[in-house]
């Protein structure tokens, strides 16, 4: 059974056209993360939620926003995608209860034309 689900798996958008990526989880985990991963690179943390508390990484561009309406869902909004934003976007979750393991979703591949 899928635990961390990301939709869509592939997303094509136009330069400057807002796009939203979604993540849902069936694990009831408190912490949710969004990562950006470019080709042949390690995942780069953009931000995370600890319950409803939003934590932005210092070097995450303002172009990237996030929403977490409830425990199960989290959204990544890219307000004005540039060519450099083409990447795999990964969602991950973790339980608050002392477990360090992050469970990753399959990712959404974003292409910017």
By CB under 8 A, name the one of 28, 42, 62, 83 that touches another protein.
42
Retrieve residue 1's tokens.
């059974």
Count Cα atoms within 13 angstroms, Cβ side, for 96.
11
Is residue 92 helix, strand or coil?
A: strand
- ∠ at Cα 101 (95, 104), nearest 5°? 90
Pick the binder of another protein from 90, 93, 110, 112 (CB under 8 A). Answer: 90
The yes or no reply on residue 106 touching another protein (CB under 8 A) is yes
109 binds another protein (CB under 8 A): yes
Contact pick of 29, 105, 110, 112 for another protein (by CB under 8 A): 105
Closest CB to another protein among residues 5, 79: 5
């Amino acid at each position: 059974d899928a635990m961390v689900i990301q939709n869509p798996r592939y997303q094509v958008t136009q330069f400057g056209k807002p796009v939203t990526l979604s993540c849902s989880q069936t694990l009831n985990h408190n912490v949710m993360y969004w990562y950006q991963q470019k080709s042949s690179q390690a995942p780069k943390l953009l931000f995370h939620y600890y319950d409803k508390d939003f934590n932005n990484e210092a070097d995450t561009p303002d172009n990237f926003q996030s929403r977490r309406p409830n425990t199960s869902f989290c959204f990544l909004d890219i307000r004005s995608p540039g060519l450099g934003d083409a990447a795999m976007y990964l969602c991950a979750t973790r339980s608050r209860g002392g477990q360090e393991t992050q469970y990753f979703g399959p990712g959404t591949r974003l292409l910017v034309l």
